[in-house]
Amino acid sequence: MSDERPGSRGGGTVFLHASNRSPRRAWGDLLDLPDARVAWMPGYDSELAVRFDQDRWEERLLTACRSGSTVVAHSFGGAVAMRAAVRRPDLVAALVLLEPAAYALARGHEAVEEHIRRVQPVLDRASDRTAEEFAADFAAAMSGDRLTPPLGADGLLAARRQRMLPGPWTLDTPSELDVPTLVVTGGWNDEYEVIAARIRGARHVTLVGHGHRPQDHPEVVDVVTDFLVR
């Protein structure tokens, strides 16, 4: 029997992560959406970090979907979810993209090119750096601050996983989607605002005050539910 509560769809809601947080910490109250399921990507369902493969991530996501699913994806997972939706609109009926790292759509924009200029050299030498060294390099490239305290077990695993990911600007990313799409940004970073503007046909909502994690905003559940009802 399908769930007829407001905001639900016949296939339920599938969450695609992009961080190393536990599901509740990663998604907060959004996990209370009807029939919520978390899709764990290769290397994130164990402590063994594996090299990224876009096809494998998409297949893992689509395996978690049923006909008519809504996919909710954050950051790096956003670009993966976009191509999966183009490949299988029979499974993915709607997308909710939280600050999607669809950088391939925004090449040429000054803020995006500056970000790539800082981060790509770190990724290019990742295999020659220890997990601790990579974590410090990556933090410095992203924010200008180097990590100085020793990393615990969770931090080292996060660094090993991050080291296996390419720059999101290298992903095959469609600019136009055939399913209803909501993009939620935090209004803090020009890169994500221009990316949102480049996703043709998407509804764009800005929820200010929580940086790269608009899913922490107290209004996000209402925004997503309203989008699904519409």
pLDDT digits (tens, 9 = 90+) for 172-198: 999 999 999 999 999 999 999 999 999
* Phi, psi angles (nearest 5°) of residue 181: -135, 130
Q: Number of structural domains, the chain?
A: 2
Q: Which residue has the higher pLDDT, 159 or 7?
A: 159
**212 and 174, same domain (yes or no):** yes
Q: Could you give the CA distance from residue 125 to residue 143 in angstroms, rounded to a whole number?
A: 18
Q: Is the pLDDT of residue 148 over 80?
A: no
**98 and 207, same domain (yes or no):** yes
Average pLDDT of the segment spanning 148-169: 88
Q: What percent of the chain has pLDDT over 70?
A: 92
Q: Is the pLDDT of residue 217 over 60?
A: yes
**31 and 78, same domain (yes or no):** yes
pLDDT value at residue 155: 87
Residue identified by tokens 């009926």 is: 93
User: For the segment 54-85, what is each residue's pLDDT rounded down to a tens digit?
Assistant: 999 999 999 999 999 999 999 999 999 999 99
pLDDT value at residue 7: 42
**100 and 174, same domain (yes or no):** yes
Q: Could you give the CA distance from residue 121 to residue 141 in angstroms, rounded to a whole number?
A: 9
Name the burial class of residue 129, with classes exposed (0-12), middle (13-18) and buried (19+) by CB atoms within 10 angstroms of its CB.
middle
Q: Is the pLDDT of residue 100 over 90?
A: yes
Q: Is the pLDDT of residue 5 over 50?
A: no
pTM of whole model > 0.95?
A: no
Domain ranges, residue 147 = 110-163
pLDDT value at residue 146: 66
**101 and 187, same domain (yes or no):** yes
When pLDDT is cut at 50, 70 and 90, the band that residue 2 belongs to is very low
Q: Could you give the CA distance from residue 151 to residue 153 in angstroms, rounded to a whole number?
A: 7
pLDDT value at residue 221: 96
Q: What is the torsion angle, in degrees rounded to the nearest 10, for the CA atoms of residue 77, residue 82, residue 83 and residue 85? A: 120
CB burial of 162-180 (b: ≥16 within 10 Å; e: otherwise) equals: bbbbebbbbbebbeebebb
Q: What is the mean pLDDT of the chain?
A: 91
Kindly report the CATH number assigned to the domain that includes residue 200.
Answer: 3.40.50.1820
104, 79 in Cβ contact below 8 A? yes
Both tokens assigned to 217: 């905003």
The closest of 178, 215, 189, 216 to 98, measured between CA atoms, is 215
Q: Could you give the CA distance from residue 25 to residue 225 in angstroms, rounded to a whole number?
A: 20
What lies within 8 Å, CB to CB, of 46 at 6+ separation is none
**36 and 92, same domain (yes or no):** yes
**71 and 180, same domain (yes or no):** yes
What lies within 8 Å, CB to CB, of 119 at 6+ separation is 138, 141, 142, 167
**55 and 142, same domain (yes or no):** no
Q: Is the pLDDT of residue 4 over 50?
A: no
Q: Which residue has the higher pLDDT, 224 or 47?
A: 224
**98 and 190, same domain (yes or no):** yes
pLDDT value at residue 28: 87
